[in-house]
Amino acid sequence: MKILVAVKQVAALDEDFEIRADGLDVDEDFLLFDLNEWDDYSLEEAMKIKEASNGDVEVVVVSIGPERVDESLRKCLAKGADRALRVWDDAIEGSDSSVMARLLAAVVRKEAPDMVFAGVQSSDHAFAATGIGLAGELGWPHAAVVNALDYAPGARQATLKRELEGGVSQSVTLQCPAVLTIQLGINTPRYASLRGIKQANAKPIDVLGLDDLGVPATTVGVDASLSRVRRMYIPPKGRAQMIEGSPDQQAARLVEIIREFKGA
Amino acid sequence: MDATAQTTRILFEQFSPWAINLFYAFGYAAIACFLYGCYVQVRKYRRGQPDASWGQLAARFGDMARTMLTHRTLKRRDHAAGAAHAMIFFSFIALFVGTATITLEVDILKPLFGITFWKGGFYLLFSLVLDLAGLGLIGGLLYMMYRRKWMALPKLDYTRPDRQPGDPDYDRSAYRREDWAFLWTLILIGITGYVLEASRLVWLSGDAGVWDSRFWSPVGALLAHSLMGLGLDASGAGTLRGGLWWFHGLLALSFIALIPFTKVKHIFTASASLMFRDPLAGRRLPKVPETQEAAGYEAITDLTWKNLLHLDACTKCGRCHEACPARTVGTPLSPRDVILSLREFANHALSASSLPDKAELSIHGKGPGQVFMETLWSCRTCLACVEICPVAVEHVPIIVQMRRKLVEEGEMEPILQKTLQTIHKTGNSFGESKRKRGAWTKGLPFPVKDARKEPVETLWFVGDYAAFDPRNQKVTQAFARLLHTAGEDFGLLLDGELNAGNDVRRVGEEGLYEHLASSNIATLEGCEFKRIVTTDPHSFNTIRNEYPEFADPALRGLFQIEHYSTVLLKLIQSGRLTLKKRLSHRVTFHDPCHLGRFNKGYDAPRELLALIGCTLVEMPRNRDNSFCCGAGGGRIWIPDPVGMEKPAQNRMKEAAGLPDIDVFVVACPKDLTMFEDALKTTPGCEGRFVVRELIELIAECVEAADPAPAAPAEAPALA
């Protein structure tokens, strides 16, 4: 019995960042990398299933990215994942989520897990597409935005709740294997101590290239993607302004602004 | 006179041989029982982990002997109890040595070599000394009884703040019974000793050899006269003496037999605990050996033999219970109870001939003898307990070791987890960008050197609170101006500096501490400087006491660090800083734990206050008894429970109780944050005084306008 958890190392902006010279992304010098917040929850969900079982569940984490991603994978290993896989080839640079889904599908075919978890979305690009795209590639049942899960390892079915807009919940039963995208708050992720992360150095991270997955280089990268970034920029400042002066002056100015806005 | 020279006491006078044999049988049985008990205790300690405290035994022994002979630690904060203990202690030693002397003659020297010395002048002096020792013993014990029964000291109340009434180990009445049994046994041995002596004198009053020298045992003689006055004759005294002899003898032998099984064992365990005291306990926390897989204490067998010995040394004197800030404000922690719980656990689990299953050895949990997670997280690692313990119990290292286990398991407040992750990610607890660490220097009218790029005399390790907290930044800038004015050649590590790790380590996140410490050490090793200076006592402590263990042995000299108080004192005393104004405030001073108790930096801040003209009014808890602001041990990152008094508020009330204080002076960035907040939230304190950093007061004096009207306002900067 195996659960595959697809994770991503996301970028957060440092103070006073700069856009890269080609105008397509933020200069990497100004990025702080960390594991995507949603992935903490999907990994925890897999770990809960593993720990509730009698020990025959293997949790494998997979990520696509360059060597720096190993740090995030180690964090997953420290939390108890059995193995980690990292997929990379320079040709992958610039791929969109459709290509990521294709690559992950190749990993799933190779690993043959009984269940695949991914986060609902990544906190940096927020497409919320990779997990569901992967299900599409595989033609597997899928459920997005899962916030409760009842699944016994190896069962043919899983029952879960999905969080819909407007505070509505949907209860769903689906056939396994399946792809679930996990929502924040489904559980309480555990803490990975730094010693744990260090000790995870001893656990293997297998690096897979395109050949290992049988994916031709022509099917990855910007050219094989369904979308591409045209420009990344900081939008012009909004119209918020600070009203100075005494409370009387501030009130008068506020009335003025409201009139202007109404076009009176 | 020949008769006097032969004066002695006939042992077993008029005892039949079988009675003497019976007594020896009891004696051997008592010794066997004692030895077996010692064996069980030692076996218990040997079930702990190794500890490297065996070095310098002679020095350690000397230190222990000095502490015991002066009773220095026992007299602290309870002089009367210390004095009474000294009476019991020295009397007991005299009586023990006396008894051993008789054994030496009767059982060893006389049968083997025919030597006798227990006679004549020596015997008479011996009688006098032991007679007076008995008085000391009984006097000391009477005070101890009075203290327990009538003084109603809160520190002698054994009920626990972390258990509820009805819990099996809540009131610990067994300890109270043991205390009383101990006092009564000893005092009965003393009293029966005197009555025995008196009845012997009456019984042998016809024997001039005995009777004429009776006043060499003054107490016994007076008692003999009283008994005679009450109508006791020689034959009645003989009968009394016979019965009492056995009672006294068997009581004393039982006492010896029971030493290893009762609190009496503190005679040995407390001495040994003092001998193996670690002068850096809590100041330098134990490293996790590289080869060791799991960090921290999970099972009772994870404790070292030294830890187990410390547990047995505790005499429940309650000094730590009284000093603990967490206990004072009502959190579920008393350092005494952590020690006693673990001791009960160890006695239960490690005294049997074989070890129980691993599962039954866990010291974490809710069962009897286990320590609650809430208890461990309540600790502020302020070292008040370790510092005051008269027998050198080291509570804080054990608590941190247990926390290490909780951290490994993720058993902590979610907000603390977040903070630790933030520190790992950004290198500071504020979650700010590394680049912003030097942002406070922008407010300075002069550039500050980057110590990584050019050599400096003084490398200033700023620390998180001083660098990122807006209120503290003003103090930090003031210190920079003072250094600049004094012409000090100083520089910073800027974004190369990470959180020093002192509090991360005290939280129990040892892996993160190792990461922070080794990164900072690598950065420091790449810089050229003469000394390190900091305004942050927490960084001061870990760099001074803990970094050397993580550095290349050849570079350990690198960590010469000074707190700003000694730096400023020298700058003023040498004339490099001129005080242009004196302040006439009435102030009180709060000793930061990490500067005072941890590193004995009590005097420099006080001298500075005197130099700038402030009148210092001490709070009742000052210097080594300073009361933690509540921020230590990572508690600054965990909100205190709502509705409960915070330690800082308790401190504000203490300061408000002083007559007419203008300023509450602090010398630590975290103190400034904690106390400014507490001043606003403590009813009746706001407006009574203000909280200021010592640096601010000094800057006010140094940067005051020159008295001469034409002089510029700002002193010209020295190159």
B534-552 pLDDT per residue, tens = 999 999 999 999 999 999 8
Residue A210 has pLDDT above 60, yes or no: yes
Residue B200: pLDDT over 60: yes
- Token readout for B623 is 């210097």
Q: What pLDDT, on a 0 to 100 scale, did the predictor assign at position B3?
A: 55
Write down the pLDDT at residue A68. Answer: 94
β-pairing verdict for B449-450 and B490-492: parallel
Nearest CB to B511: which of A34, A188, A195? A195
Token pair 């402590």: residue: B541
**Mean pLDDT within B313-325:** 96
pLDDT tens digit string along A118-177? 999 999 999 999 999 999 999 999 999 999 999 999 899 999 999 999 989 999 999 999
Q: Residue B696 has which token pair?
A: 């601010």
SS3 readout for B336-404: HHHHHHHHHHHHHHHCCCCCCCHHHHECECCCCCCECHHHHHCCCCCCHHHHHCCCCCCHHHHHHHHHH
Indicate yes or no: CB of A191 within 8 angstroms of CB of B417: yes
What's the gap in Å between the CA of B478 and the closest CA on chain A? 26
pLDDT at residue number B491 = 97
Q: From the list B295, B408, B435, which residue is nearest A14 (CB)?
A: B435
CA end-to-end span of chain A:
69
Which pLDDT value is given to residue B2?
52
Alpha-carbon gap, residue B157 to B176, rounded angstroms: 9
* Burial class of B518 by CB neighbour count within 10 A (0 to 12, 13 to 18, 19+): middle
pLDDT for the residue B555: 83
- Rounded CA-CA distance B627/B84 in Å is 28
Give the length of chain A: 264
Token match 């594991």: residue?
A: A35
Residues in chain B: 719
Q: Which amino acid is at A143?
A: A
**Quick one: which of B474, B476, B482 has its CA closest to B463?**
B476
Residue of chain B nearest A190, judged by CA positions: B410
Give the three-state DSSP class for B36.
helix
pLDDT tens profile B73-128 = 999 999 999 999 999 999 999 999 999 999 999 999 999 999 989 988 999 999 99
Beta carbons of B408 and A193 less than 8 Å apart: yes
Spell out which chain B residues touch chain A, with contact meaning CB-CB distance below 8 angstroms.
Answer: 288, 293, 295, 407-408, 410, 412, 414, 417, 420-421, 424-426, 432-436, 509-512, 514-515
Nearest to A15 among B293, B421, B435 (CB): B435
SS3 of A74, please? helix
CB pairs under 8 A between A and B: 45
Cα-to-chain-centroid distance, residue B504: 22
**For residue B449, what are the CA distances in angstroms to B369, B455, B613?**
55, 9, 33
Q: Which of A15, A32, A195 sits opposite B408 (nearest CB)?
A: A195
Q: Given phi > 0 = left and psi -120 to 50 = alpha, else beta, which region is B487?
A: left
Instruction: Please determine, for residue A263, whether its predicted confidence score (pLDDT) is greater than 80.
Output: no
Q: Which residues of A touch B436 (CB under 8 A)?
A: 15
* pLDDT at residue B712, rounded to an integer: 46
Of B651, B660, B664, B598, which is closest to residue B621 (Cα–Cα)? B651
Task: Give the integer Cα–Cα distance in Å for B88 and B90.
Answer: 6
Model confidence at A264, pLDDT cuts 50, 70, 90, reads: low
- Model pLDDT, residue A121: 96
Percentage of residues of chain B with pLDDT beyond 70 = 97
The predicted pLDDT at position B718 comes to: 47
* Distance from the A14 Cα atom to the nearest Cα atom in chain B, whole angstroms: 6
Look at residue A15 in the predicted model and tell me its pLDDT.
Answer: 73
B439 phi and psi angles, rounded to 5 deg? -60, -30
> According to the model, what pLDDT value does residue B498 have?
98
**Mean pLDDT on A57-73:** 96
Name which of A109-113, B48-52, B183-187, B258-262 the model is least confident about: B48-52
Sequence-ordered alpha helix ranges (H) in B204-233: 208-211, 218-229
- B chain contacts of residue A197, beta-carbon cutoff 8 Å: 511
pTM to 2 decimal places: 0.91
Tell me, what's the pLDDT at A204?
84
CA-nearest of B663, B585, B569, B675 to B629 is B675
Q: Are B141 and B190 within 8 A, CB to CB?
A: yes
**What separation in angstroms does the CA of B6 have from each of B9, B117, B475, B520?**
10, 10, 81, 77
Helix (H, G, I), strand (E, B) or coil at B116: coil
For residue B713, the tally of other CB atoms under 10 A from its CB is: 8
Q: At residue B715, does pLDDT exceed 60?
A: no
pLDDT tens across B270-286, in order?
A: 999 999 999 999 999 99
Tell me which residues of chain A have a C-beta less than 8 Å from any C-beta of chain B: 14-16, 32, 34, 188, 190-191, 193-199
Q: What HEC string does A78-93 produce?
A: HCCCCEEEEECCHHHC
pLDDT at position B202, please? Answer: 94
d(CA B397, CA B382): 11
Q: Rounded to an integer, what distance in angstroms lies between the CA atom of residue B456 and that of residue B210?
A: 84
Give the confidence band of B706 by pLDDT, cuts at 50, 70, 90: confident
Tokens standing for B509? 């996140």
Q: Which helix (H) or strand (E) holds B588?
A: strand B586-589
- Please answer yes or no on whether A193 and B424 come within 8 Å at the CB atom: no
Min Cα separation B85/chain A (Å): 47
- Give backbone dihedrals phi and psi of A18, rounded to 5 degrees, phi first: -130, 145
CB spacing of B425 vs A32 below 8 angstroms: yes
* Cis preceding-peptide flag for A177 (omega within 30 of 0): yes
pLDDT at A100: 97
pLDDT tens sequence across B465-490: 999 999 999 999 999 999 999 999 99
ipTM, two decimals = 0.81
Q: What is the pLDDT of residue B719?
A: 42
Q: Tell me the CA distances in angstroms from B448 to B269, B445, B524, B530, one per residue in order.
A: 55, 10, 17, 17
